[in-house]
Structure 1
Amino acid sequence: MKKTKKILTTVVTILIIFAAVFLVWANQSYKPNFNVEDFIKSNDRVTIQIDKNIVINPKDKKVEKGFIFYPGGKVDPKAYIPIASKISEEGYRVVITPMPLNLAIFNKNKADNVIKENRDIKVWAIGGHSLGGVMAADYAFNHTDNIKGLILLASYPQDKNNFTGKNIKTLSLWGSEDKVAKLDKVKSAKNILPSDAVFYEIKGGNHGQFGSYGKQKGDGEAKITEEEQQKISAEYIVKLLDKINK
């Protein structure tokens, strides 16, 4: 009896230590490398509201389509405001969804609430960066009634999610200097994505420059600027959003 109690105490102690270490690791997120308040004040082409989600709308344009964005793992969602703003100013609502512990795996269905709270938007695309893209793809696979576009930034669907028979416009972008993502899986995703999916390698881009949070640990050195990488990405994303219909 004493031996069993000792074993249980040891197991509980190990679990508590593991949980504490995990929480410390998860909370060490990548922060925006720009002043968020100054960016919002200086941007005269979009409105940016930060609440439970980050909602970005174009000024002086009628919005009919929306793009739900899941952040990369351990990245502060505000770090994606610059690229999201570039997309939004072309006439789209972009909703960046904060995740528990900055890990989309803990709330892959966050898009449910976004869609419910934005009933004026009738056509939706979803996407994400890195881990966020994996979870966005999982959501899209199970919600093609609402989701008409899928955008993957340095990301790919899980093997179980075979989109070849799905009617969903798809875009996959990655940087040639990315040393974080498994680029073999990013590229081989052609086998489980629709035949008309667009795959494009951004020459000189890396993993972290899809967001604005500085260099990510283990990433390659980019040969183009963050601004250039996000400009190219936004152009491709807007082209996809232009094509999706209800």
Structure 2
Amino acid sequence: MVIVLVLAVGGTLAWTQIGVMAAEEGPLSEAQADPDITIRDAPEGIVIAPAAGGSDTGLVFVPGAKVDPWAYVAVLRDTAAAGTTVVITRPWLNLAFFDPRGLDAFTSAAPEVDEWSVGGHSLGGVRACQLTEDAAALVLFASYCSTDLSGTDLAVLSLSGSEDGLSTPAKIADARHLLPATADLVEIDGASHASFGDYGPQNGDGTPTISDDEMHETVTDLLAGFLER
């Protein structure tokens, strides 16, 4: 029995480290060269802040399953440049449901921020739904909640893709009842599951018809309108 348990644990740990989807070098390099932001590799996560400083709003963002956290820097860089400090977490074992830490484990990276939102992509969004107690708002990228938030007054922005083969439009619709009635759901035409990060194609996903640059711009505009509400 002990040997079986050791093998099971060892196999699970090995699986979490195999097939992690790496950040694409081009978009990441462009973000790192952006003079309008600072990027800090902190113990709490990857911290992207406006270079001018003075940020009083923040977003804790949880990556999708087995996706390199750096893959979200490019899509969130303009949100940071506009004045919102972003902390991209590093989920334990590359899977958000293995990470029991609360929101304050990440917000401590920027104590000057007064108001925090929480969000995530795919499985990271599912985990973000569980971290909303101390958050001002929730942002979902190609994700949906398993936690019932329908009875709350939480501000919610749910972004999905018409070509998503994983968090399909049907799955997003089926979980709509778990969000507040006031939640804003936006389906981005031409976006796939992997369009919400910069890590290349993903097995089981649809084929995007929107360019990376257009996707980044669309997400930035939608986030700006929501976070500055």
* TM score, norm. by length of structure 1: 0.86
Corresponding residue number in structure 2 for 1:97: 89
Pick closer, same or farther for the CA change 1:182–1:222 going to 2, 3 Å: closer
Pick closer, same or farther for the CA change 1:227–1:110 going to 2, 3 Å: farther
Write out aligned runs for 1:1-246 (5 A): 11-28=1-18, 29-34=20-25, 38-39=29-30, 41-52=32-43, 53-140=45-132, 143=133, 146-158=134-146, 161-243=147-229
Pick closer, same or farther for the CA change 1:220–1:182 going to 2, 3 Å: closer
Pick closer, same or farther for the CA change 1:36–1:237 going to 2, 3 Å: closer
The answer to which of 63-72 and 84-93 deviates more is: 84-93
User: After superposition, what is the alpha-carbon deviation per residue over 1:21-66, rounded to whole angstroms, capped at 9, x for unaligned?
Assistant: 2222211210011158733542111000112210011122521100
The answer to which of 223-232 and 146-155 deviates more is: 223-232
User: After superposition, what is the alpha-carbon deviation per residue over 1:200-244, rounded to whole angstroms, capped at 9, x for unaligned?
Assistant: 11111000111110001111111111222222122111211101x
Q: SS where residue 147 of structure 1 aligns?
A: coil
Partners of 2:195 and 2:125 lie apart in 1 by: 15
In the TM superposition, residue 14 of structure 1 has moved relative to its aligned partner by 2.6
Partners of 1:40 and 1:227 lie apart in 2 by: 12
Conserved 8 A contact 1:205-1:222: yes
Equivalent residues, number: 227
Partners of 1:22 and 1:172 lie apart in 2 by: 31
Root-mean-square deviation over aligned CA pairs: 1.8
Pick closer, same or farther for the CA change 1:139–1:239 going to 2, 3 Å: same
Conserved 8 A contact 1:72-1:133: yes
Percent identity for Structure 1 against Structure 2: 33
What amino acid maps onto 2:17 in structure 1?
Answer: N
Partners of 1:201 and 1:19 lie apart in 2 by: 39
Structure 2 unaligned residues grouped into runs of 5+: none
Pick closer, same or farther for the CA change 1:116–1:44 going to 2, 3 Å: closer
Partners of 2:61 and 2:122 lie apart in 1 by: 11
In the TM superposition, residue 15 of structure 1 has moved relative to its aligned partner by 2.5
Conserved 8 A contact 1:67-1:124: yes
Partners of 1:69 and 1:25 lie apart in 2 by: 23
Corresponding residue number in structure 2 for 1:6: none
Q: SS where residue 165 of structure 1 aligns?
A: coil
Conserved 8 A contact 2:157-2:183: yes
Conserved 8 A contact 1:149-1:240: no
Structure 1 unaligned residues grouped into runs of 5+: 1-10
* TM score, norm. by length of structure 2: 0.92
